[in-house]
Amino acid sequence: MEKYYPQQTIKRAVSCSGIGVHSGRETSITIKPAPENHGIRFRRIDLPGTSDIPALFSMVVDTSLATVLGSQGAIVSTIEHLMATFTGLAIDNALVEIDGYEMPIMDGSAREFTKILNLAGIVQQRIPRWFFVVTEPIAIKDNDKYVTVSPHSSFKISCSIHFDNPVIGTQELSFDLSPGNFTNEICHARTFGFIKDLQYLKMFHLGKGGSLDNAIVIDDNKVLNESGLRWPDEFVRHKLLDCLGDFALLGMPILGHIQTNKSGHDLNHRFIKQFLAMKESWETRPVALRDYKP
């Protein structure tokens, strides 16, 4: 009998807490196991009676500063790092309980989320995981920015960024997704920004929780963090992390090669909309273990 790549969840509940990068408020989350075909859902435990919010593209209500999900008056903001972790560790089903509207930023990366989920343990479930299997290329372009996907035997993602700044410049990274690769090479990469932008955000009562403890901060031609960078190309590694979080909102993993150039949350979500509309360019089905080795 053919064996298919199974759905997965975690063995036990795990929790963490921290401040939101924009609100500056402390929030706590608890991630719990969930049954097959549950998907990833968020529950606002500070708003009893509100419905769970599925982590799906159709639930996105804002992408201006972070990815925000919303349903029936309840929102959950800045979900991309946790969603990237679910993708990176191949976790299909989980319930995320949160006691506020913004996810904790932790150290600006997905390191803490990855740590607690690995400690929780990942367990295979009985039902096969379904994939979007790309059969024809799909692309969206906005001047020199673009996102494309083409057929591939596994999930591969390639990102390139360019900033007119000597600290960042042009960086490129290609990545074959597997739980081990994500844990070792991607989850530690922190969000980044320029000191002038952080000061601007705080003028408008945003970025209240942003600091050197949870972001790489750049001032002209230097990194202000005393510890420096975790990798010379940490910036593009974090961009790839954000992309994983955005594309997770398709609700199923992709069998294909995604390539992005200078993309952000908005372009990524426009790409998802186009992807879902081009049904002739992909099919959904389980994938045999012999055909896919993440």
Residues 6+ apart with CB under 8 A from 150: 134, 137, 256, 257, 259
Instruction: Name the residue with higher pLDDT: 154 or 201.
Output: 154
Instruction: Name the residue with higher pLDDT: 168 or 196.
Output: 168
CATH architecture of 6-291: 2-Layer Sandwich (3.30)
The DSSP element (H or E) to which 10 belongs, if any, is strand 6-10
DSSP 143: T
Position 208 scores a pLDDT of 67
Determine the Cα–Cα distance for residues 33 and 251; give it in Å rounded to an integer: 17
pTM here is 0.94
Q: pLDDT digit string (tens) for 228-273?
A: 999 999 999 999 999 999 999 999 999 999 999 999 999 999 999 9
| Domain-wise residue ranges, the chain | 6-291
Which of the residues are catalytic?
265
